Structure 1
């Protein structure tokens, strides 16, 4: 480790001060007393003495967003090589005594202020800086909890020993302890992740046996020959170098040798090899594993052996990567009592509400768990829910394709009476939204011709300096273990005109700031150079949520600026100058221009913009309801569940 004075780049100064990098550049140009760059940087990326920067910020009345966690992050970047991070993890858990160095002092300060998990996460950030992460994703806490609940709901005895062969940050092992596991084992190819998991588990779960080892589980199994009661795992996806050639004759390939392009099915068989006969393995996988031609033989053998018990399709956004609807495979190592001739398919991919909100995730997770519990305990009738689950004979699944995609099986098992009732309900819902749209349209029917009035404008930066509006600084941090989850509002949610679509948790980039009623919410992104609606005033489900990626939050002085007036003019053509980017269009909030009017003159504009927002929301809901009704009726017609009118 270096003994040099901690340094910071412009981006880190921006985080310290809670401003944009452009503001830092302006400070350097306008203030001759701004600290000069020091050795260690480049002309394009200069670095500055951290102490001098903090002193300058204090002297100029800039409220620093510095904290022990941010200070640790800065010191790590300045003094610690990524390869040195695993050795520092033991300092966090107290297994090493502080030696008085700047780094260790910063670690203990961060632990005292933010806790063990947040400190480990900051260390891991630095440790993973030089590591490619393609195909490796964290397991978001709601999905990790669901996987553990599925394990607890199985008919097999409650597991006492659980292994995660790709444990990452340890999220799944923590959930295993929650459902009663007393022995936890993990392995990860990255030393920083193995050290991170071990430190977190030992501190958070002092009464549980923990053994976490470093290494590639497929190429260098750290637990050879050992068997556990259960497996919980979210293995890497689409690995090209997983060892197909070296492992061609491996004894783990009980269900056929995995082709080079089927690394996920190698992990599935690795998991099954590590559970006792009758033990359960629950694995999170990308959807392509269910249907790729190259994996057809292994899928068939898993079905024939009764090793695959359930395939559960999750909604896109449930876990990282957010754009993909992942699947949970529930597997059981066959034993002499394995006689079931059925497999359960659950299609939860479209089970969340029309606005994409995850606020009802808990009820969805309970529904998934209840149907699996009923199926695994032999109650096939309770496990069958039209449009949601299908209990299918194994021999009916074994065809030329062996396609295990749940939507395909659930659609094929539709109940005519249920589909007809759902279609009528969808049409009724569409009618309600059409009425809402008509009402909203009536409010914007009458307009008076304008007189080409030219309004004097000011930039948001000017308004902020004058105290009329505040650009709320947003500092993102991972939540501590056990912290209550909050909804997360993203920039894409704003563009789509919907409510918060995410939840806080590990791997979710969200601010610690809570949205207040009356806050002005702006999407940092635009779909094109037009005035795409990406701004609104916080109300309803927005209040109490936290801003996620791509959200800018303003707070207006209500005695000087109407929030809806401000939100409406942000989308004006005059503000195209504040947008930049070639493919993904972003906005610079300080360059936005807002007309200067007295508060009473702002009110008519504010009401008009509010009505236009309601019109857009009503139109989006109506379009979504029409799409859902058309899909449902079309599915019913093609499946023979309903007949056309005659």
Structure 2
């Protein structure tokens, strides 16, 4: 057991109450900032005493909260590979404190033998799904946990630790988005006692049952603490964390550790609601040993379609009339090997809706286990990328109340018979809601007016460029020479970076091409390159063919991008961006060129005043390029609306 407490960059930012970018700046600007003592180059760890000493010496206020003290003690009690087990053990001890108030007093006494606490805690938490190694926690940590529970309560104390654990292992853990988890809970509410025709009727008065067969750390089940909650996960650590979270929240919970598909922990279960965010694209899911499994009521899942195995596993554990809400990769709606099972789900009336509730996916499939002898429905609901999850919920509510009616936008009821073709494509984007005749005609008119206005404005966007009175070719240098002269400093973005999670904005190659604001999001890291106004960013890959001057600070450089920081007294950034833009375009003109060799890019030798004139012209050309792109996109939309309207009868030739 080690006790050299360490912090990552996020911990330091929280300790000093600053943003993660500030920590990155400290590391870059202060030579005396503590050096990493562990971790990796992408996620280094720093000594807590050294960081505290540095903050004090540099006059930067900080406060170590009780939650921080517990977290750092946990991090110091073992390596990161066992961090989940340590957090689970801490949660089990908090559960002991909740169930045994005298245990809290015992934990606060310094002379209480650890072995006695171990025995008492083990007896009070015997219902946990896996044995707890109580030797991982020592008396000082017991006392810190007791203090934290006294301040926040055991449940909130453990949620604070879970947040830190999920943040520390964000690249290893797959946690369902909070808005999707909330949506799934709201959709299931009518079957758990709300006003709905399918509300469970239980003569014994037993509470409704919710099941998650791939629970992870329990994100989907936390809203269901009023129901009887059952869960399973293949990871023992995940099962332990889920069980502790549910039990601390007061749920009547039973959690099993084990592979749900191979070692079903609840073979006889028929739940009122099943929610699931299964692992995607997991090829080793048990195809060979499960070929004859009775759960495959709608067809044997192909080897490459594990998600369809999870869908049928969920349905097999649902009572007649019960609901299944399962997140699916968008490709599962259209991949050819799975079309037979999709077709069978539609014919049986089991699949009731396919939603893309948030732009970019994943999809949410809503299924209902048919009651014996009932008539199969004729329509299925499609919802494509609603403005908010509330829109998707409203469409489902209306469709559930009247399956033969027309749900509100963005929902569309599609005839099942129309889907049973050679593809059985259930992609919501393919079945977008068609506008009514009046709305479609009005939309076409609005887009035509905007296109005409933008096309007319293009003439005013022409750059102020003209041939010189006498042709001349100025002498040139290269960016490599400018770097050696100290006029330009070059930074390269990472080869890989997670750009879909975190709170730090990332400028991506797509943003560079479109001229849009940084659209990526990532977590802080001292290795990030932070953009400053006047920086020039260009793409590594020739096919992107873009270079721009940064106008706002704060974002970080994304993958496959270069940053050029210039001496503003000798180099105009817009001038340099124009030269780089030309080089990228020239590379694209040569087949086989995949990258721009920035060191060899030719740059005219001009005075700073001349550079600024060229920079102005380059800005005008870039603005024209952006306007042309926006106009072309609007024109494509106009053409699409025109074809849709003429074929659909909403528009007529002429006029």
- TM-score under structure 2 length normalisation: 0.64
Question: Deviation at 1:335?
Answer: 1.0
- The aligned counterpart of 1:358 is none
Question: Deviation at 1:567?
Answer: 8.4
- The aligned counterpart of 1:445 is 464
The secondary structure found in structure 1 opposite 2:95 is: coil
Question: Deviation at 1:193?
Answer: 2.5
- For the 8 Å contact 1:525–1:586, the answer to whether it is kept is no
Question: Deviation at 1:197?
Answer: 3.2
Question: Deviation at 1:8?
Answer: 8.3
Q: Distance in 2 between the 1:169 and 1:522 partners?
A: 43
Of 148-157 and 162-171, more deviation after overlay is shown by 148-157
The equivalent position to 2:377 in structure 1, one of 341, 344, 363, is: 341
Q: Distance in 2 between the 1:383 and 1:368 partners?
A: 10
Question: Deviation at 1:337?
Answer: 7.4
The secondary structure found in structure 1 opposite 2:165 is: helix
- For the 8 Å contact 1:535–1:568, the answer to whether it is kept is no
- The aligned counterpart of 1:54 is 51
Q: Does 1:629 align with 2:651?
A: no
Change (3 A) 1:82 1:152: same
The equivalent position to 1:143 in structure 2, one of 159, 177, 180, is: 180
- The aligned counterpart of 2:75 is 76
Question: Deviation at 1:22?
Answer: 9.0
The equivalent position to 1:393 in structure 2, one of 384, 395, 415, is: 415
The secondary structure found in structure 1 opposite 2:366 is: strand
The secondary structure found in structure 2 opposite 1:219 is: coil
Give ranges in structure 1 of 5+ residues lacking alignment.
Answer: 319-325, 352-360, 464-475, 480-485, 512-517, 555-560, 577-581, 588-596
Q: Distance in 1 between the 2:333 and 2:149 partners?
A: 44
Question: Deviation at 1:636?
Answer: 4.9
Change (3 A) 1:99 1:345: same
Name the larger-Rg structure. Answer: 2
- Map of 1:200-349 to 2, 5 A cutoff? 200-203=245-248, 206-314=249-357, 316-318=359-361, 326-336=362-372, 338-349=374-385
Q: Distance in 2 between the 1:574 and 1:498 partners?
A: 13
Q: Distance in 1 between the 2:84 and 2:455 partners?
A: 58
CA-to-aligned-CA distance 1:306-329 (integer Å, 9 cap, x gap)? 1111122356534xxxxxxx3221
CA-to-aligned-CA distance 1:422-473 (integer Å, 9 cap, x gap)? 333332232344355555x16x53799899899xx999xx99xxxxxxxxxx
CA-to-aligned-CA distance 1:591-629 (integer Å, 9 cap, x gap)? xxxxxx99x999999998987776565444323322322
The secondary structure found in structure 2 opposite 1:251 is: coil
- The aligned counterpart of 1:186 is 231
Question: Deviation at 1:149?
Answer: 3.3
- For the 8 Å contact 1:314–1:328, the answer to whether it is kept is yes
The secondary structure found in structure 1 opposite 2:412 is: strand
Q: Distance in 1 between the 2:64 and 2:542 partners?
A: 37
Of 206-215 and 236-245, more deviation after overlay is shown by 206-215
- The aligned counterpart of 1:532 is 546
- The aligned counterpart of 1:473 is none
- For the 8 Å contact 2:321–2:369, the answer to whether it is kept is yes
Change (3 A) 1:619 1:47: closer
- For the 8 Å contact 2:281–2:305, the answer to whether it is kept is yes
Change (3 A) 1:86 1:41: closer
- For the 8 Å contact 2:506–2:556, the answer to whether it is kept is yes
- Map of 1:488-567 to 2, 5 A cutoff? 491-492=508-509, 494-497=511-514, 509=523, 527-528=541-542, 532-538=546-552
* Number of residue pairs aligned between Structure 1 and Structure 2: 561
Give ranges in structure 2 of 5+ residues lacking alignment.
Answer: 14-19, 97-106, 108-136, 201-206, 488-498, 526-531, 584-592, 599-606
Q: Distance in 1 between the 2:457 and 2:69 partners?
A: 48
CA-to-aligned-CA distance 1:563-608 (integer Å, 9 cap, x gap)? xx878877775999xxxxx989999xxxxxxxxx99x999999998
Q: Distance in 2 between the 1:273 and 1:532 partners?
A: 53
Q: Distance in 2 between the 1:8 and 1:184 partners?
A: 36
Q: Does 1:373 align with 2:397?
A: yes
CA-to-aligned-CA distance 1:43-67 (integer Å, 9 cap, x gap)? x999998267537845984969997
CA-to-aligned-CA distance 1:386-442 (integer Å, 9 cap, x gap)? xx543233333333433323344448x776665444333332232344355555x16
- The aligned counterpart of 2:2 is 2
- The aligned counterpart of 1:86 is 85
- For the 8 Å contact 2:512–2:538, the answer to whether it is kept is no
Change (3 A) 1:620 1:197: farther
Question: Deviation at 1:252?
Answer: 1.7
Q: Distance in 2 between the 1:530 and 1:270 partners?
A: 44
- For the 8 Å contact 1:82–1:127, the answer to whether it is kept is no
CA-to-aligned-CA distance 1:20-43 (integer Å, 9 cap, x gap)? 79949x95xxx8x987x98x999x
- TM-score under structure 1 length normalisation: 0.65
The root-mean-square deviation of aligned C-alpha atoms, in Å, is 6.2
CA-to-aligned-CA distance 1:170-224 (integer Å, 9 cap, x gap)? 33223x43xx853333322222333333444455xx3433433322111122222
Change (3 A) 1:50 1:258: same
CA-to-aligned-CA distance 1:236-290 (integer Å, 9 cap, x gap)? 1222111122222322222222222221111111111222211111111122222
- The aligned counterpart of 2:203 is none
- For the 8 Å contact 2:507–2:518, the answer to whether it is kept is yes
The secondary structure found in structure 2 opposite 1:383 is: coil
Q: Distance in 2 between the 1:74 and 1:290 partners?
A: 46
